[in-house]
Amino acid sequence: MHKSIRVLVLHLQSSLSWVVVHLLYSTLVLLFLFVDLLFISKKIAQIESVICTICFFLIENTRFKPRSKIAFLTVSSPFEHLFLFYSTIRVKIREQTNLDGSKYMKRILLIATGGTIASVQGQFGLTPGLSPEQLATYIENDSQNSYMVDYLQLLNLDSTNMQPEHWAQIALCVAENIDAFDGFVITHGTDTMAYTAAALSYMLQHLTKPVVLTGSQVPIYEHKTDARTNLIDALHFACENVGGVYVVFNSRVIAGTRAVKMRTKSFDAFESINYPHVAQWDGYQFSYQWLPPKPTTKILQVHTELNTDIFLLKLYPGAKPEIFDHLRTLYRGIIIESFGNGGVPSLRRNLLPKIEALANAGMAIVITTQCLQEGEDLSLYEVGRRVAQNPNIILSYDMNTEAIVPKLMWTLGQMQDIQTIKRVMETPIAYDLVR
């Protein structure tokens, strides 16, 4: 009996000692959290780190842990939660503050490639002529500036002249600088911006930092221009803690694979097709419609190999089947923009035999629709089902053409087997399709 009481007393002493140390540590946690909220100095941060390390070591040391298995004496969980809470808040505070107490400034790389935003009047009309440093002089009055910008003139093109090789050049530039910057802004012409955004989404996978494309409908030097707003909004979004490729235009954020230019002159030039906008800038912060998930791996995957031997064919009433005989020897893949839900003509000028022959020969044939909204559904009508019966035909679902083109180039550049190509093309990447 006396022995049992003595054992119980020892358990209580051990448990109480453990609780006292935990209470001491918890007090220190709250104290340093309060200090973090008020100010941060290098000296306090060093002292804090030493004391917290010692206390955490003592807590983890087994001789301070209760030997009793009685449930009400096992009180580690609340303190562990407190520690995790403190750690999370502390990281959030320190993300925004340097050790010397100054506000942390995100470092952004602005990669200029030309476009209307940087254009000036030339002999034959507007042509890119402003450097990124010159662009920056137009946004010096950004009152919410929380970033430092480095500048790089990578290209200086009208986006009409943007080629797939330039996509690879931009992707490699981002990859080479990924560790040195918190985010990237790419100024680009609007006409082919959507193609470039989609291409970068495939070439740069598992991005943990934002890569933002923007431009304008009117040159930045004009009085009535959208360039200044778009550039400032893009720089702000490049400071967000998200990863991936995005288009920022007219205060809206669009996933890189979902952007399509819909208007040639209006400031709201781009729309997000078949997918909601990511976020909207209200002048102070971004309001998210959906939050891009964090990548499961932090290892950036860079694959810039492309096969540009593809052809985009828009069907029209009266198209001749013989066109496919000419395409057979020139291209590795064909994207067919068909009618409605994906129907292909099968009467009079019957296109099906030629299409099936190419698909059976190993050519990548993608069926999409000329309709921007809602995508294709080859299962709905006979004119669609007949083409979908071929197991080598690639379905595009609700992808837009601006994403299909670079995705097919990218896929053909990585692999040869038609069934593998079909599987990858029909697999969602960077939010490009919903099956």
CA distance 10 to 251: 66
Give the pLDDT mean for 80-103.
49
* pLDDT at 169 exceeding the cut of 50: yes
pLDDT at 74 over 60: no
Residue 382 confidence class, pLDDT cut points 50, 70, 90: confident
pLDDT at 406 over 60: yes
CA dihedral 411, 413, 415, 420 (to 10 degrees): 20
Task: Specify the pLDDT at position 16.
Answer: 54
CB atoms within 10 A of CB 348: 7
Q: How many degrees, rounded to 5, is the angle at CA 92 between CA 89 and CA 97? A: 120
Range with the poorest average pLDDT among 81-90, 227-236, 359-368: 81-90
User: What's the pLDDT at 54?
Assistant: 53
Which uninterrupted H or E stretch holds 208? none
| pTM for this predicted structure | 0.78
At 347 the pLDDT is 87
Q: pLDDT per residue over 12-58, tens digit each? A: 455 555 455 556 656 665 665 555 544 444 444 445 555 544 554 45
- Cα separation of the two ends of the chain: 71
Q: What digits encode the pLDDT tens for the residues 96-132?
A: 555 555 567 999 999 999 999 999 999 999 999 999 9
**Range 379-391 average pLDDT:** 81
Q: What is the pLDDT of residues 129-149, one digit of tens each?
A: 999 999 999 998 876 788 999
**What's residue 352's pLDDT?**
93
Give the pLDDT score at 57.
47
Beta strand 252-255 with 279-281: parallel, antiparallel or unpaired? Answer: antiparallel
pLDDT at 22: 56
Identify which of 156, 71, 147 has the alpha carbon closest to the alpha carbon of residue 115: 156
pLDDT at 70 exceeding the cut of 80: no
What value does the mean pLDDT take over residues 49-73?
Answer: 43
* 213 contacts 193 by C-beta, under 8 angstroms: yes
User: Is there a catalytic annotation at residue 116?
Assistant: yes
Pick the catalytic residue: 62, 88, 97, 116? 116
